[in-house]
């Protein structure tokens, strides 16, 4: 018997303590007969918080009723569902506690289906078709004209070009009486848009260009990407609300009237600096969320984009819903529930007001393996959650999740504060100007350009961009705060004309770099980028002044990796002196592979300033990076960067480099760079906790940073904005865990395992496979068994599975600190406690 498992040497730190309210269901099994029958995941296979239970409502016969992906509650309390590739069905669920055989499922007598969004209101049944439909993809309205409970009238309200898994998706009602719908990035904007809250001058905006996906996926798709529309119930007055999504499947409003979505990643990009994890976005008016193809995805800190309220990790987002109206404890009534199809989990995201937007925490709510969850609804009269699993022709089912515990389920007050309500009021006053013909209050917009609240200053900037720049460009010469000056420069670079460039750049040159915050530095650098990309190559004298302003700060003395990335981008573009030498040095010495790849990418088109030494070091790096692993496109991206750089070489330069520009380096064992160090001691938690408590000062920042890199933590964890995402983000570790907690999680990783990172044991007749289900296709489970090689799956046919159960062993082995000295361990802990910040007060204490 063969055993495949994911207990690779991951990192020094992979802790993720389970949520206190989360109750493990322990081991669960599927019988051999059940596995051979390809049935849906049994209810005893689900893990839910204490007090919740899951009921099977209907196990969908695949051959007759397909695989369900969308759902809504109709005006009579029944469910309407759609097969991904087929019909619509009306479902009358069996009463709670009764056998699922009492559920009634009937096909609707309409020639329409393939919906990934459904909504039933007094105005009719809205069907967002992601397929052919009677007359093509797009939004339809079905109406019952004679009261016979059937739909005789079908209207194609909004035709759309696009389909597949990145096509038209959800349709929901808004608090303003309008309807809102979303579509993925393979969908063209409708032919007729009556208004746009997004200023219509979007572009690709890459200072050093981009490279398409290394596997060619959607290589020709450009901005604006996925989008959100709103409209009147009859389909008129179509308005573009926001753009720049990759593939947001669903949208939801909270009780404050704010819109949210859960947007997808590009899992093939895992391990690259342009990878962005799945994330929850607050969809503010007119915002751009920065999806671009291939290497072009904007980092969330770009001033002309808008970030996330929660970065979840890799996965496949599907249905979302707020718990509003559920008969759940208050915490879950107020949660945003988001579905991850591939990893089989629904998260509860708890949003807390943060100025005019939100901050968040999240925890698993329901999970199983497999659980390809597709949609969620809260039933308004029953107060329970209905959940469908299915999609891609996998086994589908309908479940009911209800609360049976003893906590109060009285209607909860949604979290809010007077300060947050006031900030939202300001933001919405600014957003009211995001429409053609709206009254323009220039004083209000100018007053909030420097707001510390990113959502407010974004709303102010967009208000300006909706107007002719001649109405507001003059304040560029006024005395403004640094943040206001930067935001105004971004607005004018995006909206202005080439003759505005000098004034924009002169206004930015007046700012003192040393007095700017980290976020202001990033936005300043983006403002410079936009001023060149949008308005031209610029005046040579001004270019040199900008170099003088920025050049001495790269690399940054405080090691800010994100600021260094953008400094490199701008200084390479401006051909700063010795910038190639410095970037090659950074590329060779940066702790994380993604940081190194960023410099390699930026240098690929650099033509002047190379020496024999820097050129050799640059091409040697491609052999060193061959040990790294990532998503399916990772290796292709690396080789494409290399080939672009080779294309600029003369024959003589190629000859000097020899084999370095020959055939690409062969992939190496991802474990090859993890040669074990000699054992120092088999440490215990008590020993190290005592030593860490005794040492009060004299901590070595550089050694702590080195230990984090030596242990390969960056391969699986994000820290200070860089690194992998297979494990939890460790940046805020010190805010959640004591040194003893951290040591326990490192030394005894299997003591407590978060359900979010739990592996599953799949037993077949021939082998045991341990890992996490990362994807599904028909009856095939695609299991990730090595977190250092996340793009490589082991496929398992479901009918071959004899038994499945939760693994009691952590995906990270113990003993990882045994090769470190006590001082090295302590410096690593302090580095984590300091959040990677060398200026932390932890380093200010001296012996």
- Which residue shows structure tokens 């909004």? 158
Using DSSP's 3-state secondary structure scheme, residue 579 falls into helix
Q: How far apart are CA 619 and CA 646, in angstroms?
A: 9
Q: What is the pLDDT of residue 437?
A: 86
Q: What is the pLDDT of residue 704?
A: 80
Tens digit of each residue's pLDDT (9 = 90 or more) over 494-521: 999 999 999 999 999 999 999 999 999 9
Identify the residue with better confidence: 140 or 684: 140
Tens digit of each residue's pLDDT (9 = 90 or more) over 737-780: 677 777 777 777 766 665 556 677 777 877 888 777 766 666 77
Instruction: Name beta bridge partners: 796.
Output: 781
Q: What is the mean pLDDT of residues 137-147?
A: 96
Give the pTM: 0.83
Give Cβ neighbours of residue 578 (< 8 Å, ≥ 6 apart).
609
Give Cβ neighbours of residue 483 (< 8 Å, ≥ 6 apart).
449, 450, 451, 452, 457, 520, 523
Q: What is the mean pLDDT of residues 593-621?
A: 96
Tens digit of each residue's pLDDT (9 = 90 or more) over 234-271: 999 999 999 999 999 999 999 999 999 999 999 899 88
Q: Is 722 within 8 Å of 595 (Cβ atoms)?
A: yes
Is 812's pLDDT higher than 90? Answer: no
Percent of the chain with pLDDT over 90: 67
Tens digit of each residue's pLDDT (9 = 90 or more) over 471-491: 998 877 677 999 999 999 999
Q: What is the mean pLDDT of residues 62-69?
A: 95
- For 837, phi then psi, to 5°, come to -100, 115
Tens digit of each residue's pLDDT (9 = 90 or more) over 531-584: 999 999 999 999 999 999 999 999 999 889 999 999 999 999 999 999 999 999
Tens digit of each residue's pLDDT (9 = 90 or more) over 296-354: 999 999 999 999 999 998 889 999 999 999 999 999 999 999 999 988 999 999 999 99
Identify the residue with better confidence: 428 or 436: 428
Point out the least confidently predicted range of 140-149, 648-657, 713-722: 713-722
Is 28's pLDDT higher than 50? Answer: no
Confidence of residue 672 (pLDDT cuts 50, 70, 90): very low
Point out the least confidently predicted range of 114-123, 158-167, 771-780: 771-780
Confidence of residue 37 (pLDDT cuts 50, 70, 90): very low
Percent of the chain with pLDDT over 70: 86
Q: What is the pLDDT of residue 755?
A: 54
Which of the listed ranges 132-141, 548-557, 672-681 does the model predict with the highest average pLDDT?
548-557
Q: How far apart are CA 324 and CA 409, in angstroms?
A: 11
Q: What is the pLDDT of residue 778?
A: 66
Tens digit of each residue's pLDDT (9 = 90 or more) over 813-840: 667 778 788 888 888 888 887 777 777 7
The CB-based long-range contact list for 582-589 (8 Å cut-off, 24+ gap) reads 582/554, 582/555, 584/614, 584/617, 584/618, 586/555, 587/618, 587/621, 588/617, 588/621
Q: What is the pLDDT of residue 10?
A: 33
Q: How far apart are CA 267 and CA 340, in angstroms?
A: 13
Q: What is the mean pLDDT of the chain?
A: 87
Q: What is the pLDDT of residue 385?
A: 98
Tens digit of each residue's pLDDT (9 = 90 or more) over 609-632: 999 999 999 999 999 898 787 888
Give Cβ neighbours of residue 665 (< 8 Å, ≥ 6 apart).
622, 623, 626
Is 728's pLDDT higher than 80? Answer: no
């Amino acid at each position: 018997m063969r055993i495949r498992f994911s207990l690779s040497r991951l990192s020094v730190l992979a802790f993720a303590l389970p949520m206190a309210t989360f109750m493990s269901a322990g081991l669960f099994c599927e019988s051999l007969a059940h596995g051979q029958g390809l049935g849906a995941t049994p209810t005893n296979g689900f893990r839910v918080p204490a007090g919740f239970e899951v009921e099977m409502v209907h196990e969908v016969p695949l051959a007759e009723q397909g695989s369900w992906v969308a759902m809504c509650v109709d005006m009579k309390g029944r469910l309407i569902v759609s097969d991904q590739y087929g019909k619509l069905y009306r479902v009358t669920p069996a009463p709670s506690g009764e056998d699922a055989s009492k559920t009634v499922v009937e096909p609707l007598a309409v020639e329409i289906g393939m919906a990934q969004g459904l909504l039933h209101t007094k105005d009719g049944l809205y069907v967002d078709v992601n397929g052919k439909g009677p007359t093509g993809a797009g939004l339809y309205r079905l109406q019952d004209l004679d009261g016979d409970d059937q739909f005789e009238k079908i209207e194609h309200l909004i035709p759309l070009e696009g389909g597949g898994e990145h096509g038209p998706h959800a349709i929901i009602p808004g608090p303003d009486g309008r309807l809102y719908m979303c579509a993925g990035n393979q969908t063209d904007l409708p032919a007729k848009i009556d208004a746009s809250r997004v200023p219509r001058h979007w572009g690709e905006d890459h200072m050093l260009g981009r490279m398409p996906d290394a596997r060619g996926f959607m290589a020709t798709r450009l901005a604006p990407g996925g989008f959100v529309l709103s409209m009147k119930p009859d389909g008129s007055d179509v308005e573009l609300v926001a753009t720049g999504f990759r593939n947001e499947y669903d949208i939801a409003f909270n009780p404050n009237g704010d819109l949210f979505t859960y947007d997808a990643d590009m899992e093939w990009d895992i391990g690259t600096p342009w990878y962005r994890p799945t994330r929850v976005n607050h969809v503010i008016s007119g915002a751009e969320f920065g999806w671009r193809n291939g290497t072009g995805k904007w980092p969330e800190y770009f001033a002309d984009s808008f970030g996330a309220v929660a970065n979840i990790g890799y996965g496949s987002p599907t249905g979302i819903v707020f718990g509003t109206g559920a008969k759940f404890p208050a915490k879950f009534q107020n949660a945003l529930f988001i579905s991850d199809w591939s990893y089989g989990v629904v998260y509860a995201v708890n949003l807390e007001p943060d100025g005019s937007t939100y901050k968040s925490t999240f925890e698993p709510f329901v999970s199983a393996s497999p659980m390809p969850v597709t949609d969620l609804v809260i039933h308004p009269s029953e107060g329970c959650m209905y959940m469908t699993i299915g999609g891609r022709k996998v086994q589908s089912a309908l479940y009911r999740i209800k609360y049976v515990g003893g906590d109060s389920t009285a209607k909860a007050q949604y979290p809010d504060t007077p300060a947050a309500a006031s900030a939202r009021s300001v933001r919405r006053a600014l957003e009211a100007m995001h429409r053609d013909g709206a009254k323009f209050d220039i004083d209000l917009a100018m007053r909030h350009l420097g707001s510390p609240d990113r959502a407010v200053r974004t709303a102010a900037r967009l208000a300006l961009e909706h107007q002719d720049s001649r109405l507001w460009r003059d304040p560029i010469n006024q005395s403004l705060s640094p943040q206001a000056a930067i935001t105004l420069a971004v607005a004018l670079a995006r909206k202005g004309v080439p003759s505005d460039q000098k004034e924009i750049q002169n206004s930015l040159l007046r700012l003192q770099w040393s007095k700017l915050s980290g976020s202001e530095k990033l936005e300043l650098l983006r403002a410079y980028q936009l001023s060149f990309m949008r308005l031209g190559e610029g005046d040579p004298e001004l270019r040199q002044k900008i170099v003088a302003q920025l050049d001495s700060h790269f690399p940054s003395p405080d090691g800010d990796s994100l600021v260094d990335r953008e400094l490199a981008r701008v200084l390479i573009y401006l051909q700063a002196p010795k910038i190639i030498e410095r970037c090659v040095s950074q590329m060779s010495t940066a702790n994380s592979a993604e940081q190194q790849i960023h410099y390699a990418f930026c240098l690929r088109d650099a033509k002047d300033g190379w020496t024999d030494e820097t050129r050799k070091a640059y091409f040697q790096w491609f052999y060193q990076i061959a040990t790294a692993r990532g998503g399916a496109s990772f290796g292709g991206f690396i080789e494409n960067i290399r080939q672009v750089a080779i294309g600029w070489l003369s024959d003589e330069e190629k000859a000097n480099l020899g084999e370095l520009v020959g055939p690409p380096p062969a992939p190496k064992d991802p474990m090859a760079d993890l040669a074990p160090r000699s054992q120092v001691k088999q440490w215990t938690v008590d020993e190290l906790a005592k030593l860490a408590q005794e040492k009060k000062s004299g901590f070595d920042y550089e050694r702590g940073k080195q230990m984090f890199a030596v242990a390969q933590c960056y391969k699986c964890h994000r820290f200070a904005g860089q690194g992998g995402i297979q494990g939890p983000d460790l940046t805020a570790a010190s805010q959640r865990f004591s040194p003893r907690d951290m040591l326990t999680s490192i030394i005894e990783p299997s003591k407590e395992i978060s359900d979010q990172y739990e592996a599953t044991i799949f037993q077949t007749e021939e082998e045991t496979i341990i890992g996490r289900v990362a994807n599904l296709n028909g009856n095939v489970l695609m299991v990730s068994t090595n977190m250092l090689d996340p793009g490589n799956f082991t496929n398992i046919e479901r009918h071959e599975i004899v038994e499945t159960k939760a693994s009691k062993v952590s995906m990270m082995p113990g003993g990882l600190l045994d090769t470190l000295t006590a001082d090295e361990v302590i410096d690593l802990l302090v580095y984590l406690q300091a959040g990677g910040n060398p200026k932390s007060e932890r380093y200010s204490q001296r012996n």
